[in-house]
Structure 1
Amino acid sequence: MTSSSPSRFHQLHLQSEPLRLPNAWDAGSARQIESLGAQAIATTSAGVAWSLGYRDGNQLPVEEYVARARSIARVINVPLSADIEGGYHDNPRAVADSVVRLIDAGVVGINIEDGSADPQQLCRKVEAIRAASIRADVPLYINVRTDVYARNLVPQQEKVSEVMTRAQAYAQAGADGLFVLGLVDAGEMLSIAQSSNLLLNVSVWPGLPPLATLATYGVRRISVGSWLPQTLWASNEQLVRGFLSQDETAPLMAAAAPYAEINARF
């Protein structure tokens, strides 16, 4: 079993401590993240979209995403998971076909979300993806993201039960993991984790308990999401504004990584 195999990626979710995933958006960021000790690489769909000049929100052309995934897989030796938003199509078969292309590019896991759509629609997509992965003889790790919390799809007092209902449906469809974006309450994490066979994934979010405590609440995976490119975007804007309008050059060099150090990573 290689370090980048699907089986290895599954095993990383069963460690004593949750798998930490600092999300990448291109080959360079993925290589840097791996070199700093990440056990796997997951993409941020927002970061990938922005780096290719598209809005986030199912606007990214699949062929460009496949090319990006292939370029990331080329430079890393750990498992690669791709965040594919809602699958970039309403037709389950078309979504599954896109996932097969990502598998061929080196992806061993995916993240797919329900958003504000009917959860049964996502179930049909997951069923099609699972069937396609079986045909491809790849035990793809399917992580299903639900936006019950992030989009406030139901009243607060109904969120846990709604997530549990969706988790059961997603598990029956063939999912491996459950990503509850916006979930930060420790007690609710524990309730959700104990009610489902799916392995719980949470994201860095305002109010999230300390990372070292999350295993206690049943969390198996922690993602960074788009916070890294968002932070770098803000930093780059500050530097460029200073250069263009304030005659500032020193900040451009003050915290720069050495050229040779960056070049040596590749």
Structure 2
Amino acid sequence: MPRHPNRQLASDFKALHMPGQPFILANAWDAGSARMLAALGAKAIATSSAAHAFTLGRPDLGQLTRDEALAHAQDLMAAVDLPVSGDFENGFGEAPDVVAETVRLSGEVGLAGICIEDTALPGTGFYEFDLAVERIRAAASAARALSQDFTLVARADGVMHGQYDLTEAIRRIQAFDDAGADALYVPVPGSVQELAAICRATNKPVNALAVGPLSKLSMQDFAALGVARISLGSALARLTHKAIFEAGTAMFTGGDFTPLSAMMPGSRVDALLLAGAAESGEKR
């Protein structure tokens, strides 16, 4: 069943986006991971298109459908009493009106916001500049037509995919800013200095992805750069898969079960799941 939009959660989410005072947007992949992150102190939860694909046994190749992404987001919203944002890839279509419809549907099910990237999925190509900007303009118009706050984040992904340079990324996020995006995001810039340049290029909130060299930064470091939001992407999900890989390799190639001795006690997991549950869920 669709979740009625929670105007307070949507407003709270938008208010979290303060340049120089970053919060962690914790990307989850199922109800259990969302509840654990909530119990550990997350202020907001996000989906991850890659982590969601992993739960379906698929590689991260941009093959999720809009219906799948919306249903998955609703599962996370039902699990926790926190704002939830959607990692909605390219908006599930090239045409601006398709992206606008994705925003409208996202607001209707109760999401507090979504990310839209300029990657021409499937693949790592990118939309030409004018089309990329028009897609964000249409998305922003749809967001403003909703009955509640909605945080639209526009992504310039070409640097991450080696398709264009930082100068082009900054040109794009400045145009996305003018087109009405609420926040901007250039995933995986090459250095801390490049992230600083991205933050200087706009007065809008900037999202940073805590992977690669940026994973070595502290919250204070991100704040000093002017970052407003720190997302995790699929990093936690990949860390979980790394644990499965390492324990599985030890078991199936060497008959070694000692990696399992590092597991978290079930009672601790149970306590976190209960602590992070939505009031309407299994919380007692």
Name the TM-score class by shorter chain.
Answer: 0.7 to 0.9
| Structure 1: runs of 5+ lacking an equivalent | none
One-letter code of the match for 1:241?
T
SS at match of 2:213: coil
Give the deviation of 1:81 after TM superposition: 0.8
Structure 2 contact 106–113 (Cα < 8 Å) conserved: no
User: 1:174 maps to what in 2?
Assistant: 180
- Which of 52, 64, 71 in structure 2 is aligned with 1:67? 71
Larger CA deviation: 174-183 vs 51-60: 51-60
* Residue 190 (structure 1) aligned with residue 196 (structure 2): yes
Structure 1 contact 62–98 (Cα < 8 Å) conserved: yes
Please list the CA deviations of residues 129-161 of structure 1 after superposition, one character each: whole Å capped at 9, or x if unmatched.
222223321221111111242123335xxx2x3
Structure 2 contact 46–86 (Cα < 8 Å) conserved: yes
Structure 2 contact 155–184 (Cα < 8 Å) conserved: yes
* Residue 262 (structure 1) aligned with residue 272 (structure 2): no
- Which of 253, 256, 262 in structure 2 is aligned with 1:248? 256
What does residue range 41-190 of structure 1 map to in structure 2 within 5 Å? Answer: 41-115=45-119, 116-154=126-164, 159=166, 161-183=167-189, 185-190=191-196
SS at match of 1:166: helix
User: 1:216 maps to what in 2?
Assistant: 224
Give the deviation of 1:225 after TM superposition: 1.4
Q: Distance in 1 between matches of 2:17 and 2:75?
A: 25
User: 2:279 maps to what in 1?
Assistant: none
Q: Distance in 1 between matches of 2:9 and 2:153?
A: 16
TM-score by length of 1: 0.88
Larger CA deviation: 88-97 vs 27-36: 88-97
User: 1:201 maps to what in 2?
Assistant: 207
Q: Distance in 2 between matches of 1:65 and 1:11?
A: 25
Structure 2 contact 90–117 (Cα < 8 Å) conserved: yes
Please list the CA deviations of residues 150-204 of structure 1 after superposition, one character each: whole Å capped at 9, or x if unmatched.
123335xxx2x32331122101221011111112534433333223132111112
Over 3 Å counting, the alpha-carbon distance change for 1:4 and 1:82 in structure 2 is farther
Please list the CA deviations of residues 218-250 of structure 1 after superposition, one character each: whole Å capped at 9, or x if unmatched.
111111111111121121022223333433334
SS at match of 2:230: strand
Please list the CA deviations of residues 69-124 of structure 1 after superposition, one character each: whole Å capped at 9, or x if unmatched.
11100111111111111112112222222333332332111111113222332322
One-letter code of the match for 1:32?
M
One-letter code of the match for 1:214?
F
Give the deviation of 1:39 after TM superposition: 1.0
One-letter code of the match for 2:33?
S
Q: Distance in 1 between matches of 2:249 and 2:118?
A: 38
SS at match of 1:5: helix
Structure 2 contact 20–227 (Cα < 8 Å) conserved: no
User: 1:227 maps to what in 2?
Assistant: 235
Identity, in percent, stands at 31
TM-score by length of 2: 0.83
SS at match of 1:22: strand
Larger CA deviation: 181-190 vs 58-67: 181-190
Structure 1 contact 54–60 (Cα < 8 Å) conserved: no
- The higher-RCO structure (CA 8 Å, 6+ apart) is 2
Over 3 Å counting, the alpha-carbon distance change for 1:163 and 1:15 in structure 2 is closer
Give the deviation of 1:16 after TM superposition: 5.1
Q: Distance in 2 between matches of 1:173 and 1:214?
A: 26
Aligned length: 260
Give the deviation of 1:9 after TM superposition: 0.9
After TM superposition, where is structure 1 displaced by more than 4 Å over at least 4 residues in a row? Answer: none
One-letter code of the match for 2:248?
V
Q: Distance in 2 between matches of 1:72 and 1:188?
A: 33
Q: Distance in 2 between matches of 1:52 and 1:215?
A: 36
